[in-house]
């Protein structure tokens, strides 16, 4: 027990750690260390975020005027298809689980690695292969089918649909393997004494995410296989001219892609649960409610796919059932919001960058969630379906929710990952710029959408021009915020103040490892306990971090 504070406050950066224990390209690309795999994932997904972001700026610039601004209609269609496909399959889905989750999951369990490290590496390699195949489709001239690849358009267009869908198929396997690995890890690698309800909520969120990844992604796989077979061999299963059913494709596709939305948002919610509690320095409110709501969301997520097809001509009965089920999935999300808010009540709230992002998440996700009510309700959905209202809604949830939470998590664990503190002032400024820019960009889209502006339009009716101009200006502001973030984060790697082991006062086990951790994570056996109990640590002004109090407080 006496070694705890040695564990908690070792001299940061300098000793041997997972980053400097071996060198060279091969020591990274063939590593079995979950932390290095997480860091490689992080670098990869951020590269694709940059690519997807540039495509987004091209879209916004093109839409500055009602007619041609930069590019032809065909190019525009390819740009928004690739923006969607890259952001979804290459950035958001692997974003939190595979990059941040890989890094923190074993640390939070006090384990040395994930249960199946070779599978973990295979998952990353599959991600790289899938990503390269997907990018190859750009070299082949791009794809213009939209990221949803609706048949029969996708089966008849003469662009590189097969390449991109095959890339998505491979990426699906990567996703399955990550999820499978996490489930096994949480079942088999929990330390003695840590029950399911002693896990940090981030792990509950990752667990729920992994369930969806394992259960839903195979359907995406078979859907992509059928689409490829349809295109290459003309099997006719989605081709109405051959007696096939194009609406069946939509069922298949959304049976995966709606749960996939929760693959994106659930781990984001996990991060928010950690950050809100730690920065309020208060035990999370309603631990069990939040944990159960994660599982409830995962379960409900499989039952609502039909709400993407309210106008497709499916029967009124099906529409009614799917509408009702859709509303049911909003409840667990609302419960989480209330619990986070209650966690702040009577806390001691510190506004570091992760917390700014977490508050921003609650604002943006609140709007994203509430606008979902308009879309779940049948009569209003008919009007709003496939308009910019939907575009705004899912950007509020995916970007305002997931990406903002990803940034919260990135800043929260950055000191742990790289052993350096970033510039706090610039962190806060960028967080605010990104949030403001985001609202300017996408709130306008709610208005133009409910006014009737359809999505995926290259040219548009003049009356929508002012909205588009405001939206585009917002996107430039947001881009500026991201470049600032990139700048100070990269700078921190070289110039950042060495990070203490526990800069924020977190009570989950990853903060007992050094920053950055050693190769096998912990130099001493970490101490278990309630991950939200902050009473046994003290602030140490010398390092600017928190250390475990020495006395025997371990059994409470």
Residues 465-504 that bind another protein (CB under 8 A): none
Q: Give the C-alpha separation, 176 to 221, whole Å.
A: 10
Question: Strands 497-498 and 420-421: what pairing?
Answer: antiparallel
For the bound state, the minimum distance from the C-beta of residue 494 to another protein, rounded and expressed in Å, comes to 27
Which residues, in sequence order, are CB contacts of 222 under 8 Å at separation 6+?
Answer: 252
* Options 274-282, 393-401, 404-412, 478-486: segment touching another protein (CB under 8 A): 274-282
Nearer to another protein, 484 or 501 (CB): 501
Q: Does 187 contact another protein by CB under 8 A? A: yes
In DSSP notation, 193-243 reads T--GGGS-HHHHHHHHHHHHHHHHHHHHHHHHHHHHHHHHH---TT-GGGT
Q: What are the two backbone dihedrals, phi and then psi, of residue 548, each rounded to the nearest 5 degrees?
A: -65, 140
Please give the residues from 3 up to 62 whose contact with another protein meets the rule CB under 8 A: none
Looking at residue 389, what DSSP letter applies? H
Binding-site member from 247, 429, 473, 527 for another protein (CB under 8 A): 247
For the bound state, the minimum distance from the C-beta of residue 488 to another protein, rounded and expressed in Å, comes to 22
For the bound state, the minimum distance from the C-beta of residue 47 to another protein, rounded and expressed in Å, comes to 27
Q: Give the C-alpha separation, 209 to 43, whole Å.
A: 22
Please give the residues from 206 up to 245 whose contact with another protein meets the rule CB under 8 A: 214-215, 217-219, 221-223, 225-226, 229, 233-237, 239-245
* Options 95-103, 434-442, 454-462, 508-516: segment touching another protein (CB under 8 A): 454-462
Per-residue burial over 218-252, b = 16 or more CB atoms within 10 Å of its CB, e = otherwise:
ebbbebbebbbebbeeeeebbbeeeebebeebbbb
Binding-site member from 13, 70, 119, 473 for another protein (CB under 8 A): 119
- For another protein, what does the binding mask look like between residues 92 and 111, x meaning CB under 8 A? --------------x----x
Q: Give the C-alpha separation, 113 to 520, whole Å.
A: 7
Nearer to another protein, 49 or 464 (CB): 464
For the bound state, the minimum distance from the C-beta of residue 437 to another protein, rounded and expressed in Å, comes to 19
Q: Give the C-alpha separation, 80 to 115, whole Å.
A: 39
Please give the residues from 506 up to 535 whose contact with another protein meets the rule CB under 8 A: 520, 532, 534-535
Nearer to another protein, 40 or 390 (CB): 390
For the bound state, the minimum distance from the C-beta of residue 10 to another protein, rounded and expressed in Å, comes to 21
For the bound state, the minimum distance from the C-beta of residue 458 to another protein, rounded and expressed in Å, comes to 4
Please give the residues from 313 up to 352 whose contact with another protein meets the rule CB under 8 A: 313, 316, 319-320, 323-324, 327-328, 330-331, 334-335, 337-339, 341-342, 344-351
Nearer to another protein, 137 or 175 (CB): 175
Binding-site member from 5, 198, 386, 465 for another protein (CB under 8 A): 386
Nearer to another protein, 484 or 548 (CB): 548
Nearer to another protein, 226 or 479 (CB): 226
Classify 498 as helix, strand or coil: strand
Nearer to another protein, 125 or 455 (CB): 455
387: β partners: 454
Classify 195 as helix, strand or coil: coil
Q: What are the two backbone dihedrals, phi and then psi, of residue 220, each rounded to the nearest 5 degrees?
A: -60, -40
Q: Give the C-alpha separation, 270 to 57, whole Å.
A: 30
Q: Nearest-CA neighbor of 395 among 434, 368, 431?
A: 368
Report whether 80 contacts 59 (CB < 8 A): yes
For the bound state, the minimum distance from the C-beta of residue 359 to another protein, rounded and expressed in Å, comes to 7
Q: Does 183 contact another protein by CB under 8 A? A: yes
Nearer to another protein, 295 or 335 (CB): 335
For the bound state, the minimum distance from the C-beta of residue 62 to another protein, rounded and expressed in Å, comes to 11
- The encoded tokens of residue 250 equal 């939509």
| CA-CA-CA-CA dihedral for 405, 406, 407, 410, to nearest 10 | 130
- The encoded tokens of residue 341 equal 């808010």
Number of residues near another protein (by CB under 8 A): 132
Please give the residues from 346 up to 385 whose contact with another protein meets the rule CB under 8 A: 346-351, 359, 362-363, 366-367, 370-371, 373-374, 376-383, 385
For the bound state, the minimum distance from the C-beta of residue 115 to another protein, rounded and expressed in Å, comes to 4
Q: Give the C-alpha separation, 86 to 336, whole Å.
A: 29
Please give the residues from 144 up to 163 whose contact with another protein meets the rule CB under 8 A: 144, 146, 150, 152-153, 156-158
For the bound state, the minimum distance from the C-beta of residue 414 to another protein, rounded and expressed in Å, comes to 20
For the bound state, the minimum distance from the C-beta of residue 538 to another protein, rounded and expressed in Å, comes to 7
Angle at alpha carbon of residue 431, lines to 434 and 425, rounded to 5° = 140
Q: Give the C-alpha separation, 62 to 351, whole Å.
A: 38
- The encoded tokens of residue 430 equal 């960028």
- The encoded tokens of residue 115 equal 């249960």
Q: Nearest-CA neighbor of 265 among 444, 353, 397, 360?
A: 397
């Amino acid at each position: 027990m006496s070694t705890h504070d040695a564990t908690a406050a070792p001299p940061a950066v300098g000793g041997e750690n997972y980053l400097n224990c071996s060198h060279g390209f091969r020591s990274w690309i063939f590593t079995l260390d979950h932390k290095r795999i997480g860091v490689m994932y992080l670098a990869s997904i951020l590269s694709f975020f940059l690519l997807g972001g540039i495509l987004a700026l091209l879209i916004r610039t093109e839409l500055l005027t009602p007619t041609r601004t930069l590019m032809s209609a065909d190019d525009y269609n390819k740009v928004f298809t690739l923006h969607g496909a890259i952001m979804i399959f290459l950035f958001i889905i692997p974003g939190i689980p595979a990059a941040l989750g890989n890094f923190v999951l074993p640390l939070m369990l006090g384990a040395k690695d994930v249960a199946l490290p070779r599978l973990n590496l295979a998952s990353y390699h599959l991600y790289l292969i899938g990503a390269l195949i997907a990018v190859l489709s750009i070299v082949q001239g791009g794809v213009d089918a939209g990221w949803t690849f609706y048949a029969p358009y996708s089966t008849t267009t003469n662009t590189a649909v097969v390449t991109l869908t095959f890339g998505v198929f491979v990426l699906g396997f990567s996703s399955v393997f990550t999820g499978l690995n996490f489930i096994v890890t949480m079942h088999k690698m929990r330390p003695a004494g840590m029950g399911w309800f002693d896990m940090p909520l981030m792990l509950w969120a990752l667990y729920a995410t992994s369930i969806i990844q394992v259960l839903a992604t195979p359907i995406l796989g078979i859907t992509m296989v059928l689409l490829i077979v349809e295109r290459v061999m003309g099997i006719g299963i989605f081709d109405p001219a051959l007696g096939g059913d194009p609406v069946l494709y939509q069922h298949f596709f959304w049976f995966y892609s709606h749960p996939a939305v929760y693959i994106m948002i659930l781990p984001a919610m996990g991060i928010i649960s950690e950050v809100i509690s730690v920065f309020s320095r208060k035990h999370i409110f309603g631990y069990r409610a939040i944990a159960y709501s994660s599982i409830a969301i995962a379960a409900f997520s499989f039952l609502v796919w039909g709400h993407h097809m309210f106008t497709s001509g499916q029967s009124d009965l099906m529409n009614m059932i799917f509408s009702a089920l859709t509303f049911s999935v909003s409840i667990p999300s609302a419960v989480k919001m209330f619990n986070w808010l209650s966690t702040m009540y009577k806390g001691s709230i510190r506004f570091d960058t992760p917390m700014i992002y977490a508050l921003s998440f609650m604002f943006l996700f609140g709007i994203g969630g509430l606008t979902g009510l308009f879309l779940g309700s049948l009569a209003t959905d008919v009007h709003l379906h496939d308009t910019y209202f939907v575009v705004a809604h899912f950007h509020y949830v995916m970007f305002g929710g997931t990406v903002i939470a990803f940034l919260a998590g990135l800043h929260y664990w950055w000191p742990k990952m790289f052993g350096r503190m970033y510039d706090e002032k610039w962190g806060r400024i960028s967080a605010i710029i990104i949030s403001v820019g985001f609202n300017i960009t996408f709130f306008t889209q709610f208005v133009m959408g409910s006014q009737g502006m359809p999505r995926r339009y290259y040219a548009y009716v003049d009356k929508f021009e002012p909205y588009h101009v405001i939206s585009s200006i917002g996107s430039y502001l947001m881009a500026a915020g991201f470049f600032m973030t990139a700048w100070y984060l990269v700078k921190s790697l070289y110039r950042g103040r060495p990070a203490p082991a526990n800069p924020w006062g977190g009570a989950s086990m990853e903060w007992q490892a050094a920053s950055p951790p050693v190769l096998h994570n912990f130099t001493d056996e970490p101490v278990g306990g309630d991950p939200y109990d902050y009473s046994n640590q003290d602030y140490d002004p010398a390092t600017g971090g928190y250390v475990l109090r020495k006395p025997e407080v371990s059994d409470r």
